[in-house]
Structure 1
Amino acid sequence: MTGSSCSADSALVGEQLAGSAPQALGWVALEQSGPWGAKAFTASHLDPELGRAIEAVAAEHDVRPVLVRRPGRHADEHVDHDHDARRLLVAHTRPGATWLLSGTIAAPEDVLALDWAAVRDGDQEAVRRSLPSLVPVDRAQLLVCTNGTRDVCCAVEGRPVAIGAAAAHTGRVWEVTHTSGHRFAPTAVLLPAGTLHGRLDVDGASALLAAADRGETVVSGSRGRSTWSGPAQVAELLVREATAEVSLDALAVPACETDGDQAWTATVTHADGRRWQVRVVSEPTDVERRESCLKGPVGLRRWTAAVTESALR
């Protein structure tokens, strides 16, 4: 490898983006400005005991917690220095039932009152009962990873995208602590869809928000939808590419079962009744690349996928 960073290495070897999104039905984004450490929930101006408690309850309910801040401020110019009130974003990603809530909480510990099971299950009313300050948000929010203490690529590559996109889309863009996949920087998650995107630029960020406003998604640069596992993400994106389907909620993956070592069969369905069986295999290669700038090279695996059956119902 001749790349100077993990993101350069990844691009150099042509690492696939599809299937690399973390899996989570729900996302909870707590505003925490100021500097972030590599493990931001316990290494920021947030009380570390509270941070550990948030991480624990989120893990218990299969919800992805992140910290966010508005782009463009110096890390030490944190708005919560003199008071505890801050924004909270809560999203559910299941196709056909996505929603995004936003509101101000009086103190960061209020997030523990959230009905985390309802976030996972998509019960918006129960979530709002648990934190009445949360209200529905109609327009998607883009969270761009910029946490340079976790991986320098996220700051060097991600922060300019966050700042540029925020200038063009006031109030719709945040810096975020971690979306996984440093090597795909600049990387971002779009809420409430839960779609992850890599190797992003400012124009690409604008395209994502414009597509979201139309109820669509952007396949180019997509890492997958966090609603599903990696193999299911690969299957969904394969069908999108084959059919040129961009409607966000047109496709679902109701089943994805392993049928051998590193092999799966996924069922992809369309809202119009079509369905596809897709075989997905994760195969080793003789290529190495770094997963992050702080780690050594490891063997790269590649996804292969093919439709084995399609039908109309």
Structure 2
Amino acid sequence: MTTAEVTSPRPLACSRLSLEADEDLSGTASTVAGYLVLEHGGPWGTKVLRDAPFSDPDGTAVPLGAHLSTTLGPLGVTTLLARRPGARHGIPRRPTVMLVAFDGAAAHGARTTVGAVSRLFGWKLPALLAGLRSGVVPEGWEPLETQYLVCAHARRDACCGELGRPLVTALAALDQEHVWEVSHVGGHRFAPNTLVLPEGLVYGRLPATRGRELVDAHAAGRLLPGALRGRAGLTGPAQAAEIAVRQAAGEDRADQVRLLGADEDGARTSTRWSVAGRTWRAEVETLPGQGEPRPSSCGKAPEPPSPRHLVREVAPE
């Protein structure tokens, strides 16, 4: 993989500046409690819950964005809009809805379709999420198979549209049924970003030429640790610890690494992991970001770099 494959040609592109500063991917995924993903062909605007138009099939406008923001925001659940590559603007007649809930490293997801987006007003979303965390798929839903959501939200950040669309096109040619363009998932500067659900795994700087590698790995129950930003259900230090443990143990099987516990003491985080039946530990220190101020998103003013998570020690017990 060459730098040119994952870098914008624009000199001040946020992804280029991040890569030139050698900013580490590890531990940079957004920490969330879950996702609600709603199929919506666009337009999305800059902030989807504020700007995207929502309406029922009869054309009636629905204030769904404000409702989801008020209901899910306090729960730490992020709403994403998703569309099939090449989809026309507007909401399909029976849009897909995906719901994912995290409980630490454990993830549970389900999907359904609705005849009108106004139906979501009647859903008891906190109860649905709680049920999912306990492993209960809601009645009328089905378990969520592996989905690949590539951020191609150009209105939010130019790098995401510029670098995300070639990747989503490549992935759709391999597995059209499970591939989506998705709104902002966090971390424009690591574009192209791919969120894999229901696990909540976030990959960054993954060029279109590695699309086959990603799909083949997940089809075989494996991950790509070298391109992994982190697992969205974990804190940044725990994300970095998991990646370090996997690399040290040479373990890329998805189901063979499990978080046993994490203790934070100021800037230090101590973690313990089960790796293929053996216990490992990893010590992580969170430090200020390195380098000169730079924009975290295209068009933004330069700002101090984000904190970084340095793995001080990783070893089996």
TM-score tier by shorter-chain length is 0.7 to 0.9
Q: Quick one: structure 1 residues 309 and 218, their matched pair in 2 at CA, closer, same or farther if it must change by over 3 Å?
A: closer
Give the percent of matched residue pairs that are identical in Structure 1 and Structure 2.
29
Matched residue, 2:197: 191
Q: Quick one: structure 1 residues 97 and 231, their matched pair in 2 at CA, closer, same or farther if it must change by over 3 Å?
A: closer
- In structure 2, list runs of 5 or more residues that go unmatched: 1-9, 55-60
* Most deviating of 293-302 and 31-40: 293-302
SS of 1:23's equivalent in the other structure is: coil
How far, CA to CA, are the matches of 1:206 and 1:111 in structure 2?
Answer: 35
Q: Quick one: structure 1 residues 114 and 188, their matched pair in 2 at CA, closer, same or farther if it must change by over 3 Å?
A: farther
The Cα shift of 1:214 comes to 1.5
Within 5 Å, give how 1:55-134 maps onto structure 2.
Answer: 55-73=69-87, 77-78=88-89, 80=91, 83=93, 85-94=94-103, 97-112=106-121, 113-119=123-129, 122-125=133-136, 127-129=137-139, 132=140, 134=141
Within 5 Å, give how 1:277-292 maps onto structure 2.
Answer: 277-292=282-297
One-letter amino acid matched to 2:239? Q
Matched residue, 1:7: 15
TM-score (norm 2): 0.86
Pairs aligned (count): 299
Matched residue, 2:5: none
How far, CA to CA, are the matches of 1:95 and 1:209 in structure 2?
Answer: 24
How far, CA to CA, are the matches of 1:25 and 1:101 in structure 2?
Answer: 15
Matched residue, 1:136: 143
* Most deviating of 290-299 and 54-63: 54-63
Q: Quick one: structure 1 residues 123 and 146, their matched pair in 2 at CA, closer, same or farther if it must change by over 3 Å?
A: same
Q: Report whether the alignment pairs 1:267 with 2:272.
A: yes
Tell whether the 8 Å contact from 2:193 to 2:205 is kept in structure 1 after alignment: yes
Runs of 4+ in structure 1 off by over 4 angstroms are 93-97
Q: Report whether the alignment pairs 1:51 with 2:65.
A: yes
Q: Quick one: structure 1 residues 158 and 114, their matched pair in 2 at CA, closer, same or farther if it must change by over 3 Å?
A: farther
TM-score (norm 1): 0.87
One-letter amino acid matched to 1:10? S
One-letter amino acid matched to 1:273? R
Matched residue, 1:297: 302
Q: Report whether the alignment pairs 1:166 with 2:172.
A: yes
* Most deviating of 281-290 and 115-124: 115-124
Tell whether the 8 Å contact from 2:85 to 2:180 is kept in structure 1 after alignment: yes
How far, CA to CA, are the matches of 1:48 and 1:10 in structure 2?
Answer: 39
The Cα shift of 1:117 comes to 4.2
- In structure 1, list runs of 5 or more residues that go unmatched: none
How far, CA to CA, are the matches of 1:32 and 1:279 in structure 2?
Answer: 39
Matched residue, 2:57: none
CA-to-aligned-CA distance 1:111-169 (integer Å, 9 cap, x gap): 341543442551342x513xx2x21244x110011111111111111112112211221
SS of 2:304's equivalent in the other structure is: strand
The Cα shift of 1:52 comes to 1.4
How far, CA to CA, are the matches of 1:147 and 1:6 in structure 2?
Answer: 14
CA-to-aligned-CA distance 1:66-109 (integer Å, 9 cap, x gap): 11011123xxx22537x4x2111122445785443222111113
The Cα shift of 1:279 comes to 2.9
